[in-house]
Amino acid sequence: MPDKAKKEFDRDSISNTLIVAIGLSLVCSVIVSSAAIVLKPIQEKNEEEFRQQIILDVAGLMQPDADINLLFESIDSRMVDLETGEYTDAADPNTFDALVAAGDPAMGIAIPKELDIALIGRRAKYAPVYLVMDGAEIDQVILPVYGKGLWSTMLGYLSLAPDGNTIRGLRFYAHAETPGLGDQIDKEPWRAQWAGKLVYDGGDEPQIRVIKGTVPANAPDAMYMVDGLAGATLTANGVTGLVQYWTGPNGFGPYLKNFREDITDE
Ligand SMILES: Cc1cc2nc3c(=O)[nH]c(=O)nc-3n(C[C@H](O)[C@H](O)[C@H](O)COP(=O)(O)O)c2cc1C
């Protein structure tokens, strides 16, 4: 190349290096942003299907290779005002994000420390419930529950029989408790123990709890107790806290009271 032309086009000049670097960054950011936009609906659909799958699982309706959307049609999703315990149209149960709503000043409330047995700080004013129908009859009601374990927020669903008291199942779908210790919360056989246990003993305060050790077979209140998790008592205490919070007077208590009375009146 003649000296003059070389002078005019120096590949290694600072300006050329900057142009290439900025150009490359722009191209890459366009590719990444486009991928995020294109994949977002697929990601949202997958998240929604996963949530539906867990609800179907705790309801005992999940079958391998089943069409999740079709199975979910037997479930009536409703929104509940937690303070009054009444159904409300204030939010859409299919898109509601309880954690986001909890942090929103208009949609969430701070939980006074002495009542915060789930250790969550804030909660949404509203929460979805899932009514599993058997024809025109309610077969079970499924409640979203969450609270702090040792390391993480544990999110799950609690299923109750139409009496609003007998537990059908408790299933966690997200947590970061230690494998082999706290993660027993979403493993059999510990999970299976919850079916048939009772939340209330006639009053409005939940009695169900995870104890330390094994529930004595002849204990008069064995129906309100679940075996502890060996080496993971702190996670187990978190499960007691969150189940009692969400079934208690500051969680779904008012709703479950209405629910039990409605069923009794029918
Ligand atoms: C690395 C490590 C991970 C642990 N993970 C958990 C856990 O996920 N859940 C839990 O309750 N305890 C966990 N523990 C144990 C707790 O510190 C505590 O000892 C235990 O909860 C007490 O339960 P225990 O009385 O049944 O032994 C962990 C301990 C260590 C060292």
* pLDDT per position as a tens digit, 149-172: 999 999 999 999 999 999 999 999
Average pLDDT over residues 196-212: 96
Instruction: Say yes or no: CB of residue 230 within 6 Å of ligand 1.
Output: yes
Pocket test residue of 119, 148, 150 for ligand 1, highest count of atoms within 8 A of CB: 150
Instruction: Say yes or no: CB of residue 241 within 6 Å of ligand 1.
Output: no
pLDDT band at 217; cut points 50, 70, 90: confident
CB atoms within 10 A of CB 257: 15
Reduced to 3 states (helix: H, G, I; strand: E, B; else coil), residue 112 is coil
The alpha carbon of 252 and the centre of ligand 1 are apart by a number of angstroms equal to 30
The alpha carbon of 28 and the centre of ligand 1 are apart by a number of angstroms equal to 44
pLDDT > 60? residue 5: no
Average pLDDT over residues 88-101: 93
**For the whole model, what pTM was predicted?**
0.85
The mean predicted confidence, pLDDT, of the chain is 92
Residue 125 Cα distances to 79, 82, 88, angstroms = 10, 6, 11
pLDDT > 70? residue 7: no
The alpha carbon of 191 and the centre of ligand 1 are apart by a number of angstroms equal to 19
**Whose CA is closest to 101, among 65, 126, 121?**
126
- Please state, in angstroms and rounded to a whole number, the distance separating the CA atoms of residues 209 and 161: 18
Q: Which of 27-31, 43-47, 85-89, 210-214 has the lowest mean pLDDT?
A: 43-47
Average pLDDT over residues 261-266: 68
The predicted structure's pLDDT at residue 265:
62
The predicted structure's pLDDT at residue 266:
59
Contacts for 168 with CB less than 8 Å, ≥ 6 apart: 58, 59, 60, 140, 159, 160, 161, 195
Instruction: Say yes or no: CB of residue 152 within 6 Å of ligand 1.
Output: no
The predicted structure's pLDDT at residue 69:
85
